[in-house]
Amino acid sequence: MSLEDERTDRKSLRKITGKTADWNEIAKDCVCFANGQGGRLLIGIEDGEALPRPGQTIKPELLDTLRKRIGELTVNVQALPQIITADNSGQFIELTIPRSLSVASTCDGRYFLRVSDTCQPVVGDDVLRLANERPGFSWETMTQLGIPRTAVDAAKLDAFVTGIRASSRVKASVKEKTPHELLTHYGLADGATLTNLGVLLLGGALDRSRLGTAPIVQFLKYDERGQKVNKLPWDDYTLSPVELVSAIWQEVPDFRESYEIAEGLYRRNVPAFDEKVVRELLVNALVHRPYTQRGDIFLNLHPDRLEVVNPGRLPLGVMPQTILHASRRRNDALARVFHDLGLMEREGSGFDMMYERQLAYGRPAPTLTEGQDSVHVTVRRHILKPPVIRLIETVDKQFQLTQRERITLGLLALSEGMTARELAKSLELPETGTLDAWLGRLPDWGIVQTSGRTQGTRYFVTPLLHDADLTQLTTLTRIEPHRLSELVREDLRRYPDSKMGDVHKRIGKEIKRSQLKKVMAELVHTGTVVMQGERNGARYRLA
């Protein structure tokens, strides 16, 4: 039985029986699924459990109560409950909630959306966005152009069928289908007519242009002064989104440049841009864009970075701060084709892969920003710390790290260490208590070491960096609190009645001001140091 995810949630039987019943929460969860991709509530299975209580029984009349209450408390929600008997003979209710064709809400006018494994409220202007992003019929399945399925480009159809039959991600029963059956199976045709998705992927150039929103891609290269020095457009609609990915990679020579970095007596050849990262950026831009909206995709290449600008905003429920964890499909059928052809990672893992690849090459992680009507993703070209490449390779070869461990190790190796709060922020985690899943086995192996406690804990990889010949300048960044406290006392002995900023300059600017403020506050609290004045005008001296 699957764990909780975007389409599955568990609820205790107490939520719909007796004095503990909370029908408003059940209604809220049903609205979440209806506004998302649909889903199911497993009622009678406690959170964290895989099976119901052994011997648990469900009264059949409870199903009628469930249908009635959901109908009373929600709008545009369909509830389909049934009793399931688990392997341990315990019973539970599987409440299936199909995706609603209209925007679903509670009866008192509240809107919710299922994002990853959480239910999030939709308020303000986002309600209008929710309505706009949820047309009654998906753009992919529409057939308003009336183009017959016989009008497919024969070469594109052959390449598509060959790719599907050669894919390791496709079931044998699907590979056995005829080309005619594959068109229907992947939603590329509806009866005798090509759908919009079929025209986009397999139609001719003229038919594709008639869609009005088929992607146009422009590559723009800028010099150090911001002057445009080269432009390559793909605007004649001859290539489908599947073909555009390889064409752009092959036709832009800058993507395949490389340079050498020194590694002791040897030199390593490093690509200017990682091919997997560039391809994933292109796939994201082509698959996740809103095809109901016009706008070109821009690939802006600067001397130090590549910026991909895609029209439209992120799907509702996904934010730049949660891109590593939240995932919502905007074009389900198109994403399915790209996945089955092996052109994209599984849903929600593409950004994880880009983080991993960038950090493994000693580069900063990708950055994502959302404009008024566009999304910008930037990857840096320059390597901040070349020795990090060797470090991650060496550790990975010895310990076979997971993807999350490689990402965490890369972040710490590029820094002088991070506090628990800083590391959680870099990993887009809501709280420091979830860091263990990302640190994994690194602390157990001694690869990552710590100092301090709770949220003041600092993580660093210094000993291993030295073992890997990654000699760095000695700094005070990772100074322990008790040593910093003694440093402050010594400074105030020499320079009494000093301001915080003056102390900070003398003991070392590499020490974070937040660290110094915390230690100074503790010294004042214990009576070791006396503070006179307030805020920026405060002065400190030994008691």
Question: Tens digits of per-residue pLDDT, 130-186?
Answer: 777 665 557 888 888 899 999 999 999 999 999 999 999 999 999 999 999 999 999
pLDDT higher than 60, residue 466: no
What is the three-class DSSP state of 273? coil
- pLDDT number for residue 477: 64
Instruction: Tell me, yes or no, whether 407 lies in a domain.
Output: yes
Instruction: Tell me, yes or no, whether 474 lies in a domain.
Output: no
pLDDT higher than 60, residue 467: no
Residue type present at position 432? T
Residues 112 and 186 in one domain: no
In angstroms, the CA 254 to CA 251 distance is 9
Per the CB < 8 A criterion, the answer to whether 338 and 287 are in contact is yes
With a pLDDT cut of 70, the percent of the chain lying above it is 92
Residue type present at position 473? L
- pLDDT number for residue 473: 43
Domain boundary among 132, 152, 177: 132
Residues 16 and 125 in one domain: yes
- pLDDT number for residue 262: 74
Domain boundary among 176, 210, 244: 210
Helix ranges (H only) for 193-267 are 196-202, 205-210, 241-251
Top pLDDT among 394 and 473 is at 394
CATH of residue 75's domain is 3.30.950.30
Around Cβ 35, how many Cβ atoms within 10 Å? Answer: 28
* DSSP per-residue codes, 304-336: TEEEEEEESPPPTT--GGGTTT----SSHHHHH
What is the number of structural domains in the chain? 5
Per the CB < 8 A criterion, the answer to whether 198 and 149 are in contact is yes
Residues 287 and 346 in one domain: yes
What is the three-class DSSP state of 183? helix
Around Cβ 248, how many Cβ atoms within 10 Å? Answer: 22
Residues 189 and 265 in one domain: no
Instruction: Tell me, yes or no, whether 1 lies in a domain.
Output: no
- pLDDT number for residue 2: 43
Instruction: Tell me, yes or no, whether 473 lies in a domain.
Output: no
State the average pLDDT over residues 411-425.
Answer: 86
Question: Tens digits of per-residue pLDDT, 7-52?
Answer: 889 999 999 988 889 999 999 999 999 988 889 999 999 877 888 9
pLDDT higher than 90, residue 514: no
Where b means 16+ CB within 10 Å and e means fewer, 368-382 reads: beeeeeebbbbbbbe
- pLDDT number for residue 135: 56
Nearest CA-CA partner of 356 in 383, 382, 398, 392: 392
State the average pLDDT over residues 210-238.
Answer: 94
Confidence of residue 471 (pLDDT cuts 50, 70, 90): very low
CATH of residue 507's domain is 1.10.10.10
Residues 453 and 323 in one domain: no
Which range is most confident: 126-130, 320-324, 448-452, 521-525?
Answer: 521-525
Which range is most confident: 123-137, 176-190, 441-455, 468-482?
Answer: 176-190
* 262 Cβ neighbours under 8 A, 6+ residues apart: 268, 386
Residues 223 and 289 in one domain: yes
Helix axes 500-507, 513-525, angle to 10 degrees: 120
Residues 375 and 391 in one domain: no
- pLDDT number for residue 535: 78
Residues 425 and 301 in one domain: no
Helix axes 23-35, 61-73, angle to 10 degrees: 70
Domain extent at residue 169: 139-210
Instruction: Tell me, yes or no, whether 475 lies in a domain.
Output: no
Question: Tens digits of per-residue pLDDT, 290-300?
Answer: 888 888 999 99
In angstroms, the CA 432 to CA 443 distance is 15
Phi-psi region of 319 (alpha: psi -120 to 50; beta: other; left: phi over 0): beta
Domain boundary among 91, 115, 132: 132
- pLDDT number for residue 334: 93
- Mean pLDDT for all residues in the chain: 86
Instruction: Tell me, yes or no, whether 97 lies in a domain.
Output: yes
In angstroms, the CA 387 to CA 263 distance is 8
Per the CB < 8 A criterion, the answer to whether 167 and 340 are in contact is yes
Structure tokens at 410: 């890369």
E strands within 329-416? 367-370, 374-380
Around Cβ 339, how many Cβ atoms within 10 Å? Answer: 18
- pLDDT number for residue 429: 82
Confidence of residue 507 (pLDDT cuts 50, 70, 90): confident
Nearest CA-CA partner of 234 in 209, 271, 254: 209
Residues 159 and 287 in one domain: no
Nearest CA-CA partner of 441 in 392, 394, 402, 391: 402
* 312 Cβ neighbours under 8 A, 6+ residues apart: 289, 290, 293, 295, 373, 374, 375
Q: How would you classify the pairing of strands 80-85 and 91-97?
A: antiparallel
Top pLDDT among 390 and 231 is at 231
| Residues counted in the chain | 543
Residues 443 and 489 in one domain: no
Instruction: Tell me, yes or no, whether 472 lies in a domain.
Output: no
Q: Is 72 exposed, middle or buried (0-12, 13-18, 19+ CB in 10 A)?
A: exposed
* 191 Cβ neighbours under 8 A, 6+ residues apart: none
Around Cβ 13, how many Cβ atoms within 10 Å? Answer: 21
In angstroms, the CA 53 to CA 45 distance is 7
Per the CB < 8 A criterion, the answer to whether 274 and 358 are in contact is yes
State the average pLDDT over residues 226-246.
Answer: 95
- pLDDT number for residue 327: 64
- pLDDT number for residue 118: 79
Residues 222 and 202 in one domain: no
Q: Please, what sign has the CA dihedral across residues 525, 527, 533, 536?
A: negative
Residues 318 and 372 in one domain: yes
Instruction: Tell me, yes or no, whether 2 lies in a domain.
Output: no
